[in-house]
Chain A
Amino acid sequence: MANDHIDITVEPGEVHALLGENGAGKSTLMNQLYGLLQPDEGEIVLDGVAKTFRSPRDAIAAGIGMVHQHFMLVPVFSVAENITLGAEEVRGGPLGILDRRRIRRDVVETSKKYGLPVDPDALVEDLPVGAQQRVEIVKALTRDVDLLILDEPTAVLTPQETDELLAVMRSLAESGKSIVFITHKLKEVKAIADRITVIRRGRTVGTAAPDTSEDELAALMVGRDVSLEVSKGPAEPGREVLKIRGLVVDDDRGVRAVDGVDLVVRAGEVLGIAGVQGNGQTELVEAVVGLRAIRAGTLEIDDQDLRGQGTKRILRSGVGYIPEDRSVDGVVRDFSVAENLVLDMYDRPPFGNSFKLNPKAIADSARDRVSQFDIRTSSPESAVSTLSGGNQQKVVVAREMSRPLRLMIASQPTRGVDVGSIEFIHNQIIHERDNGTAVLVVSSELDEVVALADRLAVMYRGRILATVSPDLPREEIGLLMAGVTGTEEPPATEEGTT
């Protein structure tokens, strides 16, 4: 059960923040409101009338619009075509032809009316993420919605784009629309919300005013006091472990993703890579662990060339890797906790050899890891899919930290992880650093990299724009993430990112 007797009321003209950890049931709740899921119990009352939504079509007809976390746009269609999709205006009956001129006019009108500039003729795939999101919002607004649901809209935005979005939300609310703003970021909630509903484990745990402190909100979200700061001593950087020079890597489409990166990570320090998602961080990390071909440049660990080595050899030379997408790359969901804990060491003593496994050694080690890393599972034999996201991530962390490491790479180490586990995982990463391991942390959560890193490299469009101290003011780091270096003018957001 993802929602358990939740009550929520949204007033006209208010920005209502729905705050909760990943997996708390926020999206499930909103999917019911949007007709994607049907509630087992309870009812939706709109303007005093109880409604049943069998599909999004019903919800749209009733004046509810939704901007999904993952955009529902057709990349090869133009902005206008995307906006009309599902409510195509045609001439000459149901099988008539598209009235492109009217569609275009509607788009321009709506975008003017609400101050949301979109180019109706641009192809969606050519637009930067922030602009794509505007298209989604305009799409909802052309359907005359009164209630707009924004599901984690800031997850993919730079701090500047986030500010713009918050301003748009404010002006929409002033024009009388109600907005439900789903997020787990406390700062944004405090900046924009008129009212805050906190959801934990599928239940409403409280309604708060926006002047509630961040610590109080966090405590409401997780149900206990948590420290958002990472306590760590000063780093003691040693030898240069990972040396990257002039690295060039292409993404899956063959487009240059990493474009001449130079990086050094020293033993006993955490190098954080900040940046908006999709600026080459993923490809950079995948290249280091041998999952992606290198077009040019060099990669060395302790003066040992990594190019052309397989992933297996790189991992076994003392590299730990926490992949960014846990459910796809990190764990095998149908495998037991014990099996997942040896996913990269199953054919090495004591867990087995190249011929057979040693189930006893695997089970013994799993018991130790489960207690050492506080993995909450009923048994090491349970399928890892029965664990919460945070505990699944602990399985990955436990696996990668259970062997002697020279380099630890943690990509989005706490994405989709509850606050309690975040604390634990952060402490483990710092612990690894203090043991003299070189640590590379990549995260699109600026708070996270700032908290963990001893040095911060900001990545933008495949390049490292600058390596700075994490103590630099947030605004300056934000500007760097948007590609603005001290001397240049900020590039217009309308520019294509290809």
Chain B
Amino acid sequence: MTTDVEAPPPAKKEEDERRDSFVGLFLHNLWSANTVTVTVLSILLALIIGAVLIVVSDPDVLSTFSYFTARPSDALTASWDLISAAYADLFRGAIFDPSAFQAWINGTGTWRAAFTPISETLTYAAPLVFTGLSVAIAFRGGLFNIGGQGQAVIGCITSAVAGFAFGLPAGLNLLVALLCGALGGALWGFLPGLLKARTGAHEVITTIMLNYTATLFLSWLILQDGVQDPNRSDAISRTIDASAQLPALPAPLRVHLGIVFAVLVTAGVAWLINRSSFGFELRAVGVNPPAAKTAGMSVAKTYTLLMVIAGALAGLGGATQVLGTADKLTTQVAGNIGFDGLLVALLGRNRPWGTLFAAILYGALRAGGNLMQADVGISLELVTVLQALIVIFIAAPALVKAIFQLRAARAARLGASMAKGW
């Protein structure tokens, strides 16, 4: 019995129970190592380290540090100005720009400009929600779907081709394109799922290999007759019919129906995991395959179906990207959405709603980073560093706990204290 639960000595027990009232427990857990606290502190830590990087990477500010002992105020002021400008841009570019909003109220600007930041954030977030959900649901079933990228790329291809090739009537065209995206991704998920179920081939290996296959297939396909834009000699496909594109708000706003769709799908995935019979199976298989098997579930069938669903979700992510943001295929059309989906799912703790918020946070950092680059001249790469740092801290909760001296969460003891024993 190697429990690390700290039971208080008997004398203190009474006092302890008093503190276990609901309010007491809430206050205790506010500064204890629960997931929300750790997540928030991870973001804070990332921003602090990011601030140091901002200062170090700026030669002008750095030069003020050469005479730091003579006039520390120079260095401190310059650093503060730069950091605050950078993070203010991050905020203004991602969420809310007071000056644009002011202009709209005064009649000198448009409402579109006022809502541009949040529109950008949601535009970047939409595909990540899908790829994040893909990774998250697979993980809940005990599978590491590293193949989100490949599935998303295939989703891009099938939905884009359906979007410019079929020429179906409006409405139906979009529906069919989205469906094709999901089907393409599902196929790309089905293969590793089937291999896992039938032969035990590890899904990490097979999905990584299928990522390469998908990317290279895209590069080849894009140059083929019927796919390549006939007026171009470089690797760009024909443009998707307007009727197959996801409806967006008027330019320059880019946000499209994809984000609404993403919220709906998140709700659907949450329902699927928690309330459906298949969700029950996948959760059981995810944490204890032998027990699931003993209870009569088919582990092989669950793995296969799970990878089909995960693939379909990532495929929808690709479809959202190509039908919403891009309007044609390029070799880079899927960007990094599949791999970012891994990080988004990790940040969201593999829970559907958590993944949605994590995707929005990622979208916000990306959108804000654009302004930061344009305005203060800080490279967009800093955003990537911030994203990476957040994930590192989330992945190493012990580090965060140690830095902030968090107490161990006691939430579990609410339920466990009475039943514990041997």
Binding site for B on A (CB under 8 A): 1-2, 4, 21-25, 27-28, 31, 37, 201-202, 289, 291, 310-316, 321, 323, 325, 328-335, 339, 343-344, 346-347, 352-357, 359, 376-379, 381-383, 386-391, 418
Asked if B398 is at the interface (CB within 8 A of a chain A CB), the reply is: no
Contact of B1 among A28, A313, A331, A418 (CB under 8 A): A28
CB pair B415 A386 closer than 8 Å: yes
Min CB distance B281 to A, Å, is 8
In Å, the complex CA distance between A334 and B280 comes to 12
The interface residues of chain B lying within 8 Å CB-to-CB of A354 are: 277
In Å, the complex CA distance between A417 and B325 comes to 60
Min CB distance A189 to B, Å, is 19
Min CB distance B58 to A, Å, is 48
Which 3 pairs of residues, A with B, have the shortest CB-CB distance?
A: A312-B296, A23-B422, A2-B1
Q: Quick one: closest B residue to A337, CB to CB?
A: B419
CB pair B419 A376 closer than 8 Å: yes
Can you list 12 pairs linking A and B with CB atoms under 8 Å apart? Answer: A1-B6, A311-B293, A311-B294, A328-B288, A333-B287, A356-B276, A376-B418, A377-B419, A379-B415, A382-B419, A383-B415, A386-B415
CB pair B422 A343 closer than 8 Å: no
CB pair B421 A378 closer than 8 Å: no
In Å, the complex CA distance between A354 and B296 comes to 14
The interface residues of chain A lying within 8 Å CB-to-CB of B416 are: 378, 382, 386
Asked if B196 is at the interface (CB within 8 A of a chain A CB), the reply is: no
CB pair A330 B291 closer than 8 Å: yes
**With A1-B6, A2-B3, A335-B284 as given contacts, are A201 and B291 in contact (CB-CB < 8 Å)?**
no
**With A2-B3, A356-B275 as given contacts, are A332 and B284 in contact (CB-CB < 8 Å)?**
yes
Min CB distance B406 to A, Å, is 20
CB pair A291 B277 closer than 8 Å: no
CB pair B294 A321 closer than 8 Å: yes
CB pair B291 A328 closer than 8 Å: yes
**With A2-B2, A346-B280 as given contacts, are A388 and B291 in contact (CB-CB < 8 Å)?**
no
CB pair B1 A27 closer than 8 Å: yes
**With A28-B2, A357-B275, A386-B416 as given contacts, are A291 and B287 in contact (CB-CB < 8 Å)?**
no
CB pair B296 A311 closer than 8 Å: yes
CB pair B294 A382 closer than 8 Å: no
In Å, the complex CA distance between A353 and B418 comes to 34
In Å, the complex CA distance between A171 and B48 comes to 67
Q: Quick one: closest B residue to A378, CB to CB?
A: B418
Q: Quick one: closest B residue to A384, CB to CB?
A: B419
Known A1-B6, A335-B284; further 4 A-B contacts with Cβ < 8 A: A28-B1, A37-B2, A332-B292, A335-B283
Asked if B298 is at the interface (CB within 8 A of a chain A CB), the reply is: yes
Q: Which residues in chain B, 273-332, are within 8 Å of chain A measured between CB atoms?
A: 275-277, 279-281, 283-284, 287-288, 290-298
In Å, the complex CA distance between A426 and B387 comes to 57
Asked if B18 is at the interface (CB within 8 A of a chain A CB), the reply is: no
- How many inter-chain contacts with C-beta < 8 Å in the A-B complex? 124
Q: Quick one: closest A residue to B8, CB to CB?
A: A1
In Å, the complex CA distance between A123 and B47 comes to 59
Asked if B5 is at the interface (CB within 8 A of a chain A CB), the reply is: yes
Asked if B12 is at the interface (CB within 8 A of a chain A CB), the reply is: no
The interface residues of chain B lying within 8 Å CB-to-CB of A382 are: 415-416, 419
CB pair B417 A330 closer than 8 Å: no
The interface residues of chain B lying within 8 Å CB-to-CB of A376 are: 418-419, 421
Asked if B7 is at the interface (CB within 8 A of a chain A CB), the reply is: yes
CB pair A357 B421 closer than 8 Å: no
CB pair B415 A330 closer than 8 Å: no
In Å, the complex CA distance between A291 and B284 comes to 17
Contact with A along B331-371 (1 / 0, CB 8 A): 00000000000000000000000000000000000000000
CB pair A1 B421 closer than 8 Å: no
In Å, the complex CA distance between A352 and B275 comes to 9
Asked if B412 is at the interface (CB within 8 A of a chain A CB), the reply is: yes
CB pair B419 A357 closer than 8 Å: no
CB pair A1 B3 closer than 8 Å: yes
Contact with A along B247-279 (1 / 0, CB 8 A): 000000000000000000000000000011101
Asked if B420 is at the interface (CB within 8 A of a chain A CB), the reply is: yes
Q: Quick one: closest A residue to B10, CB to CB?
A: A4
Interface-central residue, A315, A347, A376, by most chain B CB under 10 Å:
A347
CB pair B296 A339 closer than 8 Å: no
The interface residues of chain A lying within 8 Å CB-to-CB of B280 are: 339, 346-347, 352, 357
CB pair B415 A328 closer than 8 Å: no
Q: Quick one: closest A residue to B284, CB to CB?
A: A332
Min CB distance A374 to B, Å, is 13
CB pair A1 B7 closer than 8 Å: yes
Q: Quick one: closest A residue to B277, CB to CB?
A: A347
CB pair B422 A346 closer than 8 Å: no
The interface residues of chain B lying within 8 Å CB-to-CB of A335 are: 283-284, 287
The interface residues of chain A lying within 8 Å CB-to-CB of B422 are: 21-24, 201, 388-390, 418
CB pair B1 A391 closer than 8 Å: no
CB pair A388 B1 closer than 8 Å: no
**With A1-B7, A21-B422, A339-B280 as given contacts, are A323 and B294 in contact (CB-CB < 8 Å)?**
yes
CB pair B291 A332 closer than 8 Å: yes
The interface residues of chain B lying within 8 Å CB-to-CB of A25 are: 1
**With A378-B417, A378-B418, A382-B416 as given contacts, are A332 and B288 in contact (CB-CB < 8 Å)?**
yes
The interface residues of chain A lying within 8 Å CB-to-CB of B419 are: 376-378, 382, 386-388, 391
Interface-central residue, B276, B290, B291, B420, by most chain A CB under 10 Å:
B291
**With A23-B422, A315-B296 as given contacts, are A332 and B287 in contact (CB-CB < 8 Å)?**
yes
In Å, the complex CA distance between A344 and B298 comes to 11
Min CB distance A144 to B, Å, is 29
In Å, the complex CA distance between A472 and B279 comes to 51
In Å, the complex CA distance between A314 and B294 comes to 11
The interface residues of chain B lying within 8 Å CB-to-CB of A28 are: 1-2
Min CB distance B403 to A, Å, is 24
Interface-central residue, B1, B279, B417, by most chain A CB under 10 Å:
B1
**With A386-B412, A388-B419, A388-B422 as given contacts, are A316 and B287 in contact (CB-CB < 8 Å)?**
no
Q: Which residues in chain B, 376-422, are within 8 Å of chain A measured between CB atoms?
A: 412, 414-422
CB pair B277 A356 closer than 8 Å: yes
**With A315-B296, A316-B296, A332-B288 as given contacts, are A378 and B415 in contact (CB-CB < 8 Å)?**
yes
**With A201-B421, A356-B275, A378-B417 as given contacts, are A343 and B284 in contact (CB-CB < 8 Å)?**
yes
The interface residues of chain A lying within 8 Å CB-to-CB of B420 are: 386, 388
The interface residues of chain A lying within 8 Å CB-to-CB of B7 are: 1, 4
Min CB distance A401 to B, Å, is 15
Q: Quick one: closest B residue to A379, CB to CB?
A: B415
**With A312-B297, A386-B412 as given contacts, are A333 and B288 in contact (CB-CB < 8 Å)?**
yes
In Å, the complex CA distance between A332 and B297 comes to 13
Min CB distance B330 to A, Å, is 40
Min CB distance B4 to A, Å, is 9
In Å, the complex CA distance between A359 and B277 comes to 11
Q: Quick one: closest B residue to A5, CB to CB?
A: B9
Q: Which residues in chain B, 206-259, are within 8 Å of chain A measured between CB atoms?
A: none
The interface residues of chain B lying within 8 Å CB-to-CB of A311 are: 293-296
The interface residues of chain A lying within 8 Å CB-to-CB of B418 are: 376-378
CB pair B277 A331 closer than 8 Å: no
Q: Quick one: closest A residue to B415, CB to CB?
A: A382
In Å, the complex CA distance between A383 and B283 comes to 14
CB pair B295 A343 closer than 8 Å: yes
Interface-central residue, B277, B287, B414, B416, by most chain A CB under 10 Å:
B277
CB pair A330 B294 closer than 8 Å: yes
The interface residues of chain A lying within 8 Å CB-to-CB of B290 are: 325, 328-329
Contact of B277 among A2, A316, A332, A352 (CB under 8 A): A352
Contact with A along B6-44 (1 / 0, CB 8 A): 110000000000000000000000000000000000000
Min CB distance B419 to A, Å, is 5
The interface residues of chain B lying within 8 Å CB-to-CB of A312 are: 296-298
Min CB distance A318 to B, Å, is 13
Q: Quick one: closest B residue to A28, CB to CB?
A: B1
